[in-house]
């Protein structure tokens, strides 16, 4: 039996015995399990590489290997991308957001395994990034292709991709509620009864999968001991402001370094420049190596000296100001190291670096308060370490609710809910004012291709301009005579508008309306003397193909008051877009989006 016949029988059986809603529930469980397994594979592969490199194989050259390992890892990633995957492996969450917004939820098959191969090599060899983004991308690609296999509609595809994101975060952090909130916040999913149960099923099945493989082990093992003190509220407010400033620093540095690497065309040049730069940083600052969760756990346990024991200056770690200075250096250089990793061609995510920087920032903040004697009784450094992570997540990722619930679930309680809300809200509000888009959504936001909770904007983002382009207009050349227009265009067209092109028939020069020549079109004595250029008029607006998004197209119709606007690609006329067809397509997409 052929694959097509087998698939057809499966689809017929499914339609006969299983309702669409029940089928979505089944798929959400499958997506959750696959996301959990993806997280397990990524984490174990990364740890295997790290343990191999830090074992007896390089024991005698360990510190020097910090310099060599990143560039070696980037080179291996380059070979994998070029000869095995044969496609560019984009950053996890931004590529998933792009697929939702502009590819109708379709992700290519290689994305199911691309990150599984390249991310462990990147992080295992010292790339200063995380595994959360690649885990989300892997699960999202699997759910997208699963949806394609069963011929599911776009709304269901996007829902299952969000389920994959929830499953990935649930499996990694064992925080199922925060994972659901993350899917809603970052992927702009509407929280409805139809979406709530699939998200719960995916998150639950993923965390059970994680328990099956990892047992009770958690990424951030911490039990809350110090309670929230009302007198610390001003400090938590100040931490929110500091979090916003660091978030803006993170966003700006990341963006500028990416722009610098975008100007380098050769992948090998990027690899060498980025690899050597990150190698130097990791050689002198070993805590920048990899994800950095060991550093976070040392800080939360109250042992910062363990995280800083490898400082190359061999400074006295008994002095609290030395510790503060070294920790501040880690915050400053971590975003540079992470950005260089991406620029060099590494594959990873920014979730872990954000937690890394946030934990150090919060710990430093508390140490400064205690060292300067601003309070009679010391503030809790462990609490500020946790709140710092939430503050930076809220600012960098623009996900304040995810930050609040993640830390609340990690600590095993909600004792810190009030300070979490204070710091996360201030950090998000200030950062959002100066930087409307997060690091995840920066590039898509600039192009107007970002899906948001604004339904009108979301529907316009999901619309495809190719579906509303009409090409059944007869083009005229500006040097054509009136007789040519009548015999070659008017008698053959059912339209009352004609595009006027240059003499070569390429560039758009204007338009000719039937009303413009109605008074003379039957005067045959003028057929040879009058030309198109005598009657044509300028175009009120022109739509630029691949440059104007659907929001810009709508704005041009509104400002011009026209019912038909021409569309050009690199100056060449390709057709018209009519307001009536555009509004019909908008209404249909709105119904599909909200059903």
Domain that residue 279 falls in: 230-452
220 belongs to a structural domain: no
150 belongs to a structural domain: yes
Q: Is 110 found in the same domain as 67?
A: yes
Q: Is 8 found in the same domain as 64?
A: yes
Check pLDDT > 60 for residue 57.
no
Q: Is 158 found in the same domain as 77?
A: yes
223 belongs to a structural domain: no
225 belongs to a structural domain: no
17 belongs to a structural domain: yes
Lowest mean pLDDT among 76-90, 230-244, 436-450, 532-546: 436-450
Angle at 271 between CA 266 and CA 274, to 5 degrees: 120
Angle at 130 between CA 129 and CA 132, to 5 degrees: 150
- Give the helix/strand (H/E) hosting 513: strand 508-513
| CATH number (domain holding residue 362) | 1.10.3080.10
Q: Is 467 found in the same domain as 424?
A: no
Q: Is 532 found in the same domain as 581?
A: yes
Per-chain mean pLDDT for the chain: 83
- pLDDT at residue 592, as a whole number: 64
Q: Is 462 found in the same domain as 434?
A: no
**pLDDT tens-digit map of 318-335:** 788 888 888 898 999 999
- pLDDT at residue 229, as a whole number: 86
Q: Is 425 found in the same domain as 526?
A: no
Check pLDDT > 70 for residue 56.
no
388 belongs to a structural domain: yes
Percent of the chain with pLDDT over 90: 26
- The residue written with tokens 């064992």 in the block is 174
Q: Is 351 found in the same domain as 415?
A: yes
Q: Is 391 found in the same domain as 292?
A: yes
Angle at 523 between CA 519 and CA 529, to 5 degrees: 100
Kindly report the three-state secondary structure assignment for every residue of 464-481. Answer: CHHHHEECCCCCEECCCE
Lowest mean pLDDT among 46-60, 440-454, 494-508: 440-454
Number of domains within the chain: 3
- pLDDT at residue 443, as a whole number: 61
Task: Say how many C-beta atoms besides its own lie within 10 A of residue 140's C-beta.
Answer: 36
Q: pTM to 2 decimals?
A: 0.79
Cβ atoms of residues 338 and 292 within 8 Å? no
312 belongs to a structural domain: yes
N residues, the chain: 595
Domain closes at, from 452, 468, 498:
452
Cα 311 to chain centroid distance, Å, stands at: 34
Cβ atoms of residues 577 and 465 within 8 Å? yes
Closest by Cα among 349, 325, 281, 289 to 131? 349
Check pLDDT > 90 for residue 234.
yes
Q: Is 181 found in the same domain as 154?
A: yes
Closest by Cα among 95, 420, 88, 1 to 267? 88
Contact residues for 298 (Cβ-Cβ < 8 A; gap 6+):
304, 306, 307
Q: Is 465 found in the same domain as 443?
A: no
Cβ atoms of residues 201 and 32 within 8 Å? yes
Domain closes at, from 452, 481, 496:
452
222 belongs to a structural domain: no
| CATH number (domain holding residue 582) | 3.10.580.10
**pLDDT tens-digit map of 84-112:** 888 888 777 888 888 877 777 788 888 88
Q: Is 236 found in the same domain as 339?
A: yes
Please report how the helices 92-102 and 154-173 are oriented relative to each other, as an axis angle in degrees rounded to 10. 160
- pLDDT at residue 158, as a whole number: 87
Domain closes at, from 165, 185, 214:
214
Confidence of residue 127 (pLDDT cuts 50, 70, 90): confident
């Amino acid at each position: 039996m052929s694959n097509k016949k087998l698939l057809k029988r499966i689809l017929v059986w499914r339609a006969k015995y299983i309702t669409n809603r029940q089928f979505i529930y089944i798929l959400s469980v499958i997506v959750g399990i696959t996301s959990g397994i993806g997280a397990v594979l990524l984490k174990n592969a990364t740890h295997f590489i790290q343990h191999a490199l830090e074992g007896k194989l390089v024991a005698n050259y360990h510190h020097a290997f910090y310099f060599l390992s990143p560039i070696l890892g980037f080179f291996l990633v380059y070979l994998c991308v070029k000869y095995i995957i044969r496609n560019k492996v984009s950053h996890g969450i931004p590529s998933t957001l792009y697929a939702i917004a502009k590819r109708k939820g379709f992700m290519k098959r290689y994305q199911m395994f691309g990150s599984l191969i390249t991310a462990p090599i990147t992080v295992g060899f010292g790339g200063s990034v995380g595994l959360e983004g690649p885990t989300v991308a892997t699960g999202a690609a699997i759910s997208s292709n699963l949806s394609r296999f069963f011929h599911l509609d776009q709304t269901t595809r996007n829902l299952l991709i969000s389920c994959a994101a929830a499953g990935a975060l649930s499996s990694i952090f064992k925080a199922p509620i925060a994972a659901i909130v993350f899917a809603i916040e970052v992927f702009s999913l509407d929280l409805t009864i139809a979406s709530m149960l699939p998200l719960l099923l995916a998150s639950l099945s993923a965390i059970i999968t994680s328990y099956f493989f990892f047992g009770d082990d958690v990424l951030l093992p911490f039990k809350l001991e110090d309670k929230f003190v009302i007198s610390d509220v001003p400090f938590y407010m100040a931490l929110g402001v500091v979090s916003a400033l660091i978030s803006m620093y993170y966003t700006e540095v990341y963006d500028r370094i990416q722009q610098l690497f975008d100007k380098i065309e050769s992948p090998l040049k990027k690899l060498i420049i980025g690899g050597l730069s990150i190698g130097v940083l990791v050689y002198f600052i070993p805590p920048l190596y990899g994800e950095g969760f060991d550093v976070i756990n040392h800080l939360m346990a109250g042992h910062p000296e363990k995280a800083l024991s490898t400082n190359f200056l061999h400074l006295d770690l008994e002095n609290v100001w030395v510790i503060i200075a070294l920790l501040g250096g880690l915050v400053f250089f971590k975003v540079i190291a992470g950005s260089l990793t991406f620029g060099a061609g590494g594959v990873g995510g920014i979730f872990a670096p954000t937690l890394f920087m946030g934990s150090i920032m919060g710990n430093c903040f508390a140490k400064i308060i205690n060292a300067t004697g601003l309070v009679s009784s010391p503030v809790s450094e462990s609490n500020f370490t946790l709140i710092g992570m939430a503050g930076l997540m809220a600012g960098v990722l623009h996900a304040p609710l995810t930050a609040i619930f993640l830390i609340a679930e990690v600590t095993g309680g909600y004792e810190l809910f009030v300070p979490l809300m204070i710091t996360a809200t201030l950090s998000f509000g200030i950062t959002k004012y100066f930087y409307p888009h997060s690091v995840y959504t920066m590039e898509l936001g600039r192009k107007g291709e970002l899906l948001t909770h604004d339904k009108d904007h979301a529907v316009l983002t999901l619309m495809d301009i190719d579906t509303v382009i009409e090409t059944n207009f007869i083009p005229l050349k500006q040097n054509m005579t009136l007789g040519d227009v009548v015999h070659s265009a008017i008698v053959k067209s059912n339209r009352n508008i004609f595009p006027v092109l240059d003499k070569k028939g390429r560039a758009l020069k204007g338009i000719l309306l039937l009303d413009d020549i109605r008074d003379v079109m039957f005067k045959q004595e003028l057929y040879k003397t009058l030309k198109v250029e005598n009657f044509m008029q300028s175009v009120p607006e022109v739509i630029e193909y691949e440059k104007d998004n659907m929001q810009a197209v709508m704005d041009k119709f509104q400002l011009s008051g026209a019912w038909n606007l021409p569309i050009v690609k690199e100056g060449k006329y390709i057709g018209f877009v009519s307001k009536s067809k555009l509004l019909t397509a908008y209404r249909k997409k709105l119904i599909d989006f909200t059903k």
